[in-house]
Structure 1
Amino acid sequence: MTLALNFKESIMEEHFDFSPNPLVKFLKKEPENFTREDIINYMSANNVRLLNFRYPGEDGRLKTLNFAIHSLDHLRRILTFGERVDGSSLFSFMETGSSDLYVVPRYHTAFLNPFSDMPSLEILCSFFDHTGNLLEPSPENILRKASRYFTQSTGLEMKMLGELEYYVNSSTASIFPATDQKGYHESQPFAKFEWMRKEALRLIAECGGQIKYGHSEVGNFTRGDESFEQHEIEFLPTRPDIAADQILIAKWILRMLAEELGVEISFAPKISTGKAGNGLHFHMMVLKEGQNIVMEDEQVSPATRKIIAGILDLADALTAFGNTVPTSYLRLVPNQEAPTYICWGERNRSALVRIPLGWSGSKDMAGVVNPGMQNDNHATINNLQTFEFRVPDGSANIHLTMAGLLVAAVHGLTMPDALEKAEALYVKGNIFHTSDFKNLNQLPSSCFESAQRLDSKRDIFIGSGVFPRMIITHTIDKLKNYNDINIREEISADKNKERELVIKYIHCQ
């Protein structure tokens, strides 16, 4: 018994030592188990005397509140009670007359700042109102409620991940220029900023990010003496709130690297006409009693098809959270690997919801190319399968988009005709190679139209108890204020109009 216990402890020790996260290595525990005393012990033992609270404002960027710790009591007080901030300067829906908020740290999010010359600990926070309750309209709280709503309504668990796409803009000339719009999985020296992406992967992992992979993407082009190169970082499926945190931190790290290197990073949905835009695709994985149920008998399961039907039914309204600036709708055009019609398919990049290739077959591929290898291939069948919502872009409000997808999932699971709708909206192959797409509904073509679609379906979001009425109204009003209903016609008439819009929204969210 003692030998077995020692062996188990040895394996766990190796597991923690392998982690790139300095806190995990030191504390010998996973982040979700971090406590206040763990944070204090780490800072004390490693002589960390700077602490930063981080939290996203309405613009989606991480804000900062700095502390220089002068005593153990000071640190314990900050970690226990948080601090006051001005909510009206962070969210436009907060009134100046009653805008005081608390920011309170979530211990599991703590990480060591990789850019600070002096050791500095960062920790993400939640917003509380003047009564000491979680701030109801805070996007982070809305996502928390959405996760609870999904599980309580269905008895299932949802894991999510994001695919973060971005452009690096530089004036760096190259002996090995990439081929225009052929950058997918290109390598150095043709992908000039592969090394920067790898450095970002390393830093994100050190800060607690769970990364699946990184690669160069399709988009690359030159304009005058400027070079634009597209990349992608994809994460592993995890709890929705953790998935959102990972994207926020990754954006911050990429921008910090860009600042140090003197290049520009942009997550904007559109950079130039005819060139690939930046999507922010969200993958979902549904679990029942810990088992992935996206597939059943190597077919898309009934539960998954119902969820997809619910997402398709609300997809036009979901653009209000996932496509939030006028240039979003310059990305949603045919034949650019961005969806335009409301449909779904398997391995189909022209569909709004896609079932990607997912290791659901029974063949031992590793054994074919590695003769003699013994591989328990059956153990992984269906475990990795996800389904992908391909509409959102880099302007997305991450928390509200994910919360909206969870509400849509419950909507689908409770729709009496969900399976019939899923069947009717299934498309095989490239939709533009068939005449069927003409019978499909289209996504909105502007922020203004997106607001109208959300308005027409607001009762579903509000009725779930997840989205406060004021957030839906605020989102609709904000989108309508762009007054961009004729944006495509305006750009066709004035070629400078698109460039002006791109520059204006180059650093959205």
Structure 2
Amino acid sequence: MNTDLNPNPLVRFLGKPQREFTKADLVRYVRENGIEMINFRYPGADGRLKTLNFVIQDEEYLASILSCGERVDGSSLFPYIEAGASDLYVVPRYRTAFRNPFSEIPALDILCSYYTKEGTPLEMAPEQTLRKACRVLRERTGFDLHVMGELEYYVVSPRRDLFPAADQRGYHESTPFNKGAAFRELAMKYIAAAGGRIKYGHSEVGNFTAADRLYEQNEIEFLPTDPEEAADQLVVAKWILRTLGERLGVDVTFAPKITAGKAGSGLHVHTRLMRDGRSATVDAGGALSEDALRAIAGYLALAPSLTAFGNTNPASYLRLVPHQEAPTSICWGDRNRSVLVRVPLGWSAGAGEMIRDANPLERAAAPDVALKQTVEFRCPDGSADVYLLLAGLVVAARHGLEMADGAEYARARYVGVNIFDERHREVLERLDSLPASCAESAARLLSQRDAYERYGVFAPRLVDGVAARLEAFGDGDLRSRLGDDTERIMALVDEHFYCG
């Protein structure tokens, strides 16, 4: 592997990919690059990374940190862990190490996993749940699932009147009409240096001014990879975006709803089914495979309960309303943004011809485009618990692959029209709907819990804990209570502004 162009300084220095990092590699990097501090980072129940700092005293102390990890109070991190038996270990995963881009003290940051006092993986931990889900999928079906997220966020900064962009017309806008480009580009540089495998970044639809503030929506999209790596990349990216915003004096939010009548921020997740390192999503002719249809069936069947991990506060359900690009009905389609599961435009036809038409001197063979086809799950938003959401999607794929009539189930829920067009009302009326509140999401999780708990993937106490947190919002009749009261809607938006 040639590492010369890799943006991660550890990869370039060590000359190997991240997944091959060892303890000896990290000790060597620390010693030869003047690193003075180690930071452990690990996800809490709120979806945000927590931090434990270590000042390196000598090589023996460094080796101890990297070999043993450290103790933490689990009851302060997860509400479903009892205080009387809450001591946990956080143990570093060497492959996740990255150079901290913000610390004035040269520092190496490493993501950690949770272990019990017996030294076994904490079955309720988000990252361990995802790990189990991936293992069981492979054992039960022979498939792996690759995923990637579309991380949408708003940058909120002082209003600037030069070169104003049109309201809600910010999609792929360039400077000087897009004011957040430099922020996005710097964030992408830091995320890539931390190991994030970025596909691209761009400005998004959401763009408006309110009083003296400018609101600009952006998106950073990642490349498909295994779900554990994808989750790690997303939580680190969110930490980097927020920290960079704080350093530069602008606000950053992943909130599902930013204000009434404006585009909210989703966390669309693309998936591709893999077997033996090759795509199993499309057949030899480039069409969706029968196995891909079964995976789609699983996404649709478990969609109501997947909202428990991907839409985790009442503001989420202000985004999931009819006649928007955020879905409300359980169906799928091709390139159709009104559906829950979308099959984006692929490259099955004309890939080589297009590049040669645009570049007459090009005579290269047509590229292999099978890996470029994905299936997009569109309802999650920035409030999502990333590890549990991806674990849930892996479970859903397995569930669909194990359904006796999975392909037929999917075909029966295919929609080839805009379901919000009045001409197609009869199509909309025959479709099941997503939950409309956290309370309903919790109820659907509890009713479908067997699919998640099967084979020991989701711990029963974890499912109970997630449901209890959702139920505590008491939002069953929230939409009717809020009505069109903009002031009360904004109070709810502000309450969950920093979610996820």
Partner of 1:508: 499
Q: Percent identity at matched positions? A: 52
Map 1:366-405; keep pairs closer than 5 Å: 366-377=355-366, 379-405=367-393
Structure 1 CA distance for aligned equivalents of residues 123 and 324 of structure 2: 38
Alpha-carbon distance, 1:494 to partner: 3.3
Partner of 2:217: 230
Aligned letter for 1:179? A
Contact 2:159–2:209 (Cα < 8 Å) also in 1: no
Contact 1:366–1:375 (Cα < 8 Å) also in 2: no
Does 2:346 correspond to 1:358?
yes
Does 2:113 correspond to 1:126?
yes
User: Taking structure 1 as the reference length, what is the TM-score of the superposition?
Assistant: 0.96
Partner of 1:7: none
Partner of 1:176: 163
Q: After alignment, is 31-40 or 223-232 more displaced?
A: 223-232
Structure 1 CA distance for aligned equivalents of residues 411 and 110 of structure 2: 45
Alpha-carbon distance, 1:73 to partner: 0.5
Alpha-carbon distance, 1:489 to partner: 1.2
Alpha-carbon distance, 1:234 to partner: 0.3
Contact 1:159–1:238 (Cα < 8 Å) also in 2: yes
Contact 2:149–2:267 (Cα < 8 Å) also in 1: yes
Structure 2 CA distance for aligned equivalents of residues 51 and 133 of structure 1: 24
Deviation sequence 1:269-303 (CA, Å, 0-9, x none): 00111111110011111112211121112211100
Deviation sequence 1:189-217 (CA, Å, 0-9, x none): 11101110000110101111100000000
Partner of 1:407: 395
Does 2:216 correspond to 1:217?
no
Does 2:264 correspond to 1:277?
yes
Does 2:302 correspond to 1:311?
no
Deviation sequence 1:93-134 (CA, Å, 0-9, x none): 111111101111000000000111121000000011111111
Partner residue of 2:41 out of 54, 66, 70: 54
Contact 1:490–1:497 (Cα < 8 Å) also in 2: no
Contact 2:157–2:213 (Cα < 8 Å) also in 1: yes
Map 1:11-22; keep pairs closer than 5 Å: 12=1, 15-22=2-9
Contact 2:207–2:215 (Cα < 8 Å) also in 1: yes
Structure 2 CA distance for aligned equivalents of residues 16 and 493 of structure 1: 55
Partner of 1:6: none
Q: After alignment, is 29-38 or 422-431 more displaced?
A: 422-431
Aligned letter for 2:362? M
Aligned letter for 1:151? R
Q: Secondary structure at the match of 2:491?
A: helix
Contact 1:215–1:232 (Cα < 8 Å) also in 2: yes
Q: Secondary structure at the match of 1:271?
A: coil
What RMSD, in angstroms, separates the aligned Cα atoms of the two structures? 1.0
Q: Secondary structure at the match of 1:16?
A: coil
User: Taking structure 2 as the reference length, what is the TM-score of the superposition?
Assistant: 0.98
Deviation sequence 1:240-287 (CA, Å, 0-9, x none): 010000001100110111101111100000011111111001111111
Map 1:81-480; keep pairs closer than 5 Å: 81-296=68-283, 297-363=285-351, 364-377=353-366, 379-433=367-421, 434-435=424-425, 436-480=427-471
Partner of 1:3: none
Q: Secondary structure at the match of 2:4?
A: helix
Does 2:77 correspond to 1:77?
no
Contact 2:43–2:126 (Cα < 8 Å) also in 1: no
Q: After alignment, is 99-108 or 492-501 more displaced?
A: 492-501
Structure 1 CA distance for aligned equivalents of residues 470 and 246 of structure 2: 30
Alpha-carbon distance, 1:482 to partner: 0.6
Q: Secondary structure at the match of 2:3?
A: helix
Structure 2 CA distance for aligned equivalents of residues 149 and 174 of structure 1: 54
Which runs of 5 or more structure 2 residues have no equivalent in the other structure? none
Aligned letter for 1:479? L
Contact 1:305–1:422 (Cα < 8 Å) also in 2: yes
Q: Secondary structure at the match of 1:416?
A: coil
Partner of 1:485: 476
Aligned letter for 1:315? A
- Structure 1 ranges of 4+ moved more than 4 A: none
